Amino acid sequence: MRRHICLDMLQEYILEHNLSEYETIILHPDDYDVIAAEFFNENELMIFRPVEVLGTKITEDTHGDVRRNQVIVLPAVAS
């Protein structure tokens, strides 16, 4: 059974997997909406800005590849 994605769970995931600002987490649109709402409420933001958790960029899946409650990590691209 997969855990529901929330901001606390995502922070734990980032720490457990040693993710950095070079990786990007892709979430199902429903999960992204939950994270974005928590992020904006917790940080008392009124305007849209990119969502970052512990420096790691969080983005919404726009291709339908990510299932609900699934976390996909895009590795850093070598320069």
Sign of the alpha-carbon dihedral angle for 13, 28, 35, 58: positive
Q: What is the pLDDT of residue 1?
A: 37
Determine what percent of the chain is predicted with pLDDT higher than 70: 91
Contacts of 35 (CB under 8 A, 6+ apart): 5, 6, 7, 10, 27, 51, 53, 58
Beta bridge partners of 58: 25, 51
Q: Is 2 a residue whose pLDDT tops 60?
A: no
Strand spans (E) along the chain = 24-27, 51-53, 56-60, 71-74
Residue 65 pLDDT grade (very low, low, confident, very high; cuts 50, 70, 90):
very high
